[in-house]
Structure 1
């Protein structure tokens, strides 16, 4: 009888493990990865060409040179270096934020380069400087990379950070080879829902709806995602690049009580092109609700011209959506580039 119980247990446990593996790996394909949304609409090269042709008809008012100077605070890093306990978020620009939690310093998608491009002389150019110089940063313990697009995985910046700080670099599956080849030493790949322990923090790589690729032929060969950082008392979510889907609700249900959600609000237009992979302010607010977070820090705007909306429009649009949703504006923390908020 005992052997029968043991056999039944082994059989049921095997079925459980098989089911868990299949659920866990449902985003894997023979050649790479796919999004959680089964109806995800892929935009190909033809769509890009159509979009670029349509841009010729856009008003010249979208040229950043026609805007007043964007607010940038030059952060000398002193307060950040002296902070060993408070939760803080500093917006460096684009998707680059410095997160301080339990005395640990984490950089998200760091880019200090003048262009986000495979070459240094052409491609989207920076229109606002980084809010803090690399030499003024506190010691960087961890770097989190959401995906391998050039505006999120900037190799020149990563090599500078490696030389100065030798941080742990967390990234999605398939990216380690590229990073090791550039001289980074401490790189850890993660699958969705993988959890790693580092510096007494728990960091989970969570799903997003996006895509990857650094060339024409490597689309979706490496994994994209977001991060949930859990400290002793507080949790921070970094959303990376993403379209809207049910993954936000799932993350909120799994982790709950998120203190700060750092979410993208830019690169939204035209919607027929951007909606699958970039949330607009309305969807950002819905994601914030799904995540059950206390504070919303916006990012992914006012740095590079990657889309067709005015560079200064995301924050006013987000405020309108927050008001429409009945959410207190006090929960919205639109930092100036270089500004730090201590929570």
Structure 2
């Protein structure tokens, strides 16, 4: 074979670049991690022989207060769609909600579980920011191998919102709620509030992380941020059965309290008595951001509902907490439709079940990217 100097130079450059990767990684600034404590014991799976895995407060419910059995998705003039419950927009009239207190929260829904919250004292807090697809390599596999969840381009967090961000909160480590690409975009000039044992999943780079157990709190400016229970699970494995991190990080929801007004974000959760526990601990909730999608899955059946709310479960949970208003999330044109019939079937079912159950808690429906001040 004829000697080719260009090939040799290219090959040596590749070797050099690969050899620098560990060196560059080792030069990254270490993260600053603070771990808070709580006076309430966190439940572990000790009854199953584990001492390192977290557990839900309550077992899987044997039954649910309400379940829609038939005709759950009637058409409504309040939702306009391009096809049957796909690519839709809510066009109905949202209620005029007059919540107690003169100071208001601004709530902007980015899509799926991602929100930008601005408090009455101008603290900007991001909730579960995932503004593209899943992290690599999961996104690559879904895009190129098929058979998985890949969503349309969602709304984005603006540069002004990013510049104003004082804290980022994460509910759990599943790919649709925690994205390392977004962390790199947000940067190090903010606090990251997370469940326990979460910091190991962050990239190095000097991030300021506060790990929190249930019923602990942390102050962001004049806003008190409480971490509260959810009924879910956690893992972030890439290849099942080869690496296993099931339930080694905690999961939960967030309660933001400022000037006597409270905004609750449920995180991914199924229905259980933990909603009543939250109400007992914190009283009535003004604004409740509650998931309504990802509950229908033929393969996993009752297990899937155990860790996700149906629309009627969401209404029951809101009643348990005496919510002033419900802002639903999880559906949408840029959703992953994980276990859902269509992009907006959950919203059709929610509007239907609100009437069926005669729910007196107002719904405020956002399309992705929209904002409301409450």
1:215-230 alignment to 2 at 5 Å?
Answer: 215=237, 216=240, 217-230=244-257
Deviation at 1:325? 2.5
1:253-264 alignment to 2 at 5 Å?
Answer: 253-264=280-291
1:142-221 alignment to 2 at 5 Å?
Answer: 142-162=167-187, 166-179=189-202, 181-183=203-205, 185-215=207-237, 216=240, 217-221=244-248
3-state secondary structure, aligned to 2:165: coil
Deviation at 1:39? 4.4
In the alignment, the residues of structure 1 paired with residue 105 and residue 131 of structure 2 have an alpha-carbon distance, to the nearest angstrom, of 23
Which structure's CA Rg is the greater one?
A: 2
1:296 is the counterpart of 2:323? no
In the alignment, the residues of structure 2 paired with residue 184 and residue 159 of structure 1 have an alpha-carbon distance, to the nearest angstrom, of 11
Q: What is the aligned-residue RMSD (CA, Å)?
A: 2.5
2:139 corresponds in structure 1 to 120
Further displaced range: 123-132 or 90-99:
123-132
Deviation at 1:210? 0.5
Task: Tell me: higher relative CO, structure 1 or 2? Use CA pairs within 8 A at least 6 residues apart.
Answer: 2
Write the deviation string for residues 307-343 of structure 1: whole angstroms up to 9, x where unpaired: 14222111121112222222247x1011000100111
3-state secondary structure, aligned to 1:249: helix
3-state secondary structure, aligned to 1:236: strand
User: Conserved in 2, the CA contact under 8 Å of 1:72 and 1:131?
Assistant: no
3-state secondary structure, aligned to 1:275: helix
Given the two structures, how large is their TM-score scaled by the length of structure 1? 0.77
In the alignment, the residues of structure 1 paired with residue 255 and residue 303 of structure 2 have an alpha-carbon distance, to the nearest angstrom, of 28
The 1:219–1:24 alpha-carbon spacing in structure 2 relative to 1, beyond 3 Å, is same
In the alignment, the residues of structure 1 paired with residue 157 and residue 259 of structure 2 have an alpha-carbon distance, to the nearest angstrom, of 29
User: Conserved in 2, the CA contact under 8 Å of 1:116 and 1:125?
Assistant: no
User: Conserved in 1, the CA contact under 8 Å of 2:109 and 2:115?
Assistant: yes
- Within the candidate set 310, 321, 324, 2:353 is matched to 321
Further displaced range: 315-324 or 122-131:
122-131
User: Conserved in 2, the CA contact under 8 Å of 1:71 and 1:337?
Assistant: no
User: Conserved in 1, the CA contact under 8 Å of 2:86 and 2:343?
Assistant: no
1:339 is the counterpart of 2:370? yes
The 1:184–1:287 alpha-carbon spacing in structure 2 relative to 1, beyond 3 Å, is farther
User: Conserved in 2, the CA contact under 8 Å of 1:155 and 1:182?
Assistant: no
In the alignment, the residues of structure 1 paired with residue 281 and residue 344 of structure 2 have an alpha-carbon distance, to the nearest angstrom, of 34
1:34 corresponds in structure 2 to 55
User: Conserved in 2, the CA contact under 8 Å of 1:97 and 1:107?
Assistant: yes
Given the two structures, how large is their TM-score scaled by the length of structure 2? 0.70
1:48 corresponds in structure 2 to none
User: Conserved in 2, the CA contact under 8 Å of 1:89 and 1:97?
Assistant: yes
3-state secondary structure, aligned to 1:107: strand
Further displaced range: 224-233 or 119-128:
119-128
Deviation at 1:34? 0.6
| Greater helix content | 1
Deviation at 1:295? 0.6
In the alignment, the residues of structure 1 paired with residue 373 and residue 152 of structure 2 have an alpha-carbon distance, to the nearest angstrom, of 23
3-state secondary structure, aligned to 2:187: helix
Gaps of 5+ in 1: 1-19, 42-63, 74-84
- Within the candidate set 259, 267, 292, 2:294 is matched to 267
- Within the candidate set 111, 114, 127, 2:130 is matched to 111
3-state secondary structure, aligned to 2:353: helix
In the alignment, the residues of structure 2 paired with residue 200 and residue 228 of structure 1 have an alpha-carbon distance, to the nearest angstrom, of 14
User: Conserved in 2, the CA contact under 8 Å of 1:260 and 1:293?
Assistant: yes
User: How many residue pairs end up in the alignment?
Assistant: 286
Gaps of 5+ in 2: 1-37, 63-81, 92-102, 143-147
User: Conserved in 1, the CA contact under 8 Å of 2:42 and 2:54?
Assistant: no
In the alignment, the residues of structure 1 paired with residue 250 and residue 206 of structure 2 have an alpha-carbon distance, to the nearest angstrom, of 19
